């Protein structure tokens, strides 16, 4: 039997394991699947057969064993924490966390309760998701999200939904995709003026988070903020220590 890898030392930046859906669309900077998005080491593992259609539109039925196996492989290869490339996998949060020995944060939706705690009285979190029609109460409940949280999907957009979900479209018009996110944000706020912050469920939406924040003036959180927080606990910032005070009795 092969010897399992040693855990990272306190001076070695830990590697993050990312469970990926099987996709063909572009992974631009900011997307979870672009290694340049991350300021720390990452390793990707594609779960074969885990298409966007199966995970986003069909509740990932039958895929849990494959995700658990892939997560265990990443841990065996040295991953110090596990995340995924789809927020709809919140359904598997408890199962995968129970199956591996490292921290697991599968969905940006996990941030909703934390963000809610930061908001002024009378304000609440809103969610923008890839598919509002199939983000169910079960997806929300497993992430600890209140079931009355306002949610809007991007199904009516011109670009991003079709690139992510529609089979056969493998190119991406970034400007149009950004407009889809901005339009969803405007509609969400028009319907729910009490929203004080936005969480982006979809791991392909972080490239547009800055534009959304600028357009709405609200804090915007996504998979990048979640995973950066997760990694920060694994590798706390190192601070220079001040020089010892000189004894005044020294000659």
- Residue range 185-216, pLDDT digits in tens: 999 999 999 999 999 999 999 999 999 999 99
Domain that holds residue 19: 15-107+230-234
Section 168-196 average pLDDT: 94
Q: How confident is the model at residue 61 (pLDDT cuts 50, 70, 90)?
A: very high
Residue 141 shares a structural domain with residue 82: no
Rounded Cα–Cα distance for residues 100 and 77 (Å): 13
Residue 114 shares a structural domain with residue 185: yes
CATH number of the domain residue 207 falls in: 3.40.50.1860
Q: Let me know: does 110 contact 89? Beta carbons within 8 Å.
A: no
Residue 114 shares a structural domain with residue 215: yes
| Strands in 69-179 per DSSP E | 79-84, 124-129, 151-153
Looking at the domain assignment, is residue 251 inside a domain? no
Looking at the domain assignment, is residue 146 inside a domain? yes
Q: Point out the least confidently predicted range of 18-22, 228-232, 240-244.
A: 240-244
Residue 135 shares a structural domain with residue 164: yes
Q: What is the dihedral of CA 43, 45, 51, 56, to 10 degrees?
A: -50
Residue 93 shares a structural domain with residue 171: no
Query: What is the chain's mean pLDDT, rounded?
Result: 93
Question: 187 versus 238: which is more confidently predicted?
Answer: 187
Q: Let me know: does 82 contact 104? Beta carbons within 8 Å.
A: yes
DSSP 104: B
- Count of domains in the chain? 2
Section 117-144 average pLDDT: 97
Looking at the domain assignment, is residue 10 inside a domain? no
Statement: residue 129 has pLDDT above 70: yes
Sign of CA dihedral 55, 59, 63, 69: positive
Residue 203 shares a structural domain with residue 157: yes
Q: Specify the pLDDT at position 7.
A: 42
Q: Let me know: does 64 contact 93? Beta carbons within 8 Å.
A: no
- The model's pLDDT over 37-51, given as tens digits with 9 standing for 90+, comes to 999 999 999 999 999
Residue 49 shares a structural domain with residue 98: yes
Residue 27 shares a structural domain with residue 101: yes
Looking at the domain assignment, is residue 242 inside a domain? no
Question: 1 versus 148: which is more confidently predicted?
Answer: 148
| Strands in the chain per DSSP E | 15-20, 42-46, 79-84, 124-129, 151-153, 195-200, 220-221
Section 70-90 average pLDDT: 98
Q: How confident is the model at residue 249 (pLDDT cuts 50, 70, 90)?
A: low
Helix residue spans in 192-247 (DSSP H) = 209-216, 223-234
Looking at the domain assignment, is residue 76 inside a domain? yes
Q: Specify the pLDDT at position 197.
A: 98
Residue 88 shares a structural domain with residue 179: no
Per DSSP, the three-state class of 106 is coil
Q: Let me know: does 103 contact 234? Beta carbons within 8 Å.
A: yes
């Amino acid at each position: 039997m092969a010897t399992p890898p040693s855990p990272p030392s306190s001076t070695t930046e830990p590697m993050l394991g990312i469970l990926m859906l099987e996709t063909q669309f572009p992974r631009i900077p900011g997307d979870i699947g672009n290694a340049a998005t991350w300021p720390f080491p990452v390793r990707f593992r594609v779960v074969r057969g885990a298409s966007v259609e199966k995970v986003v539109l069909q509740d990932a039925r039958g895929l849990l064993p494959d995700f658990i196996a892939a997560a265990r492989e990443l841990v065996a290869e040295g991953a110090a924490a596990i995340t995924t490339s789809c927020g709809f996998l919140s359904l598997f949060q408890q199962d995968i966390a129970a199956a591996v020995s490292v921290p697991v944060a599968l969905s940006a939706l996990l941030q909703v309760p934390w963000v809610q705690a930061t908001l002024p009285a009378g304000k609440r979190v809103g969610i923008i998701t890839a598919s509002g029609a199939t983000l169910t109460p079960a997806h929300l409940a497993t992430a600890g999200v209140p079931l009355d949280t306002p949610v809007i999907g991007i199904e009516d957009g011109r670009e991003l939904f079709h690139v992510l979900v529609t089979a056969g479209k493998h190119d991406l018009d970034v400007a149009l995709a950004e407009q889809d996110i901005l339009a969803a944000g405007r509609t969400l706020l028009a319907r729910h003026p009490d929203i004080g912050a936005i969480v982006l469920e979809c791991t392909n939406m972080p490239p547009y988070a800055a534009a959304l924040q600028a357009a709405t003036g609200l804090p915007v959180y996504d998979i990048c903020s979640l995973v950066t927080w997760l990694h920060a606990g694994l590798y706390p910032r190192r601070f220079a220590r001040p020089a010892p005070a000189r004894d005044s009795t020294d000659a």
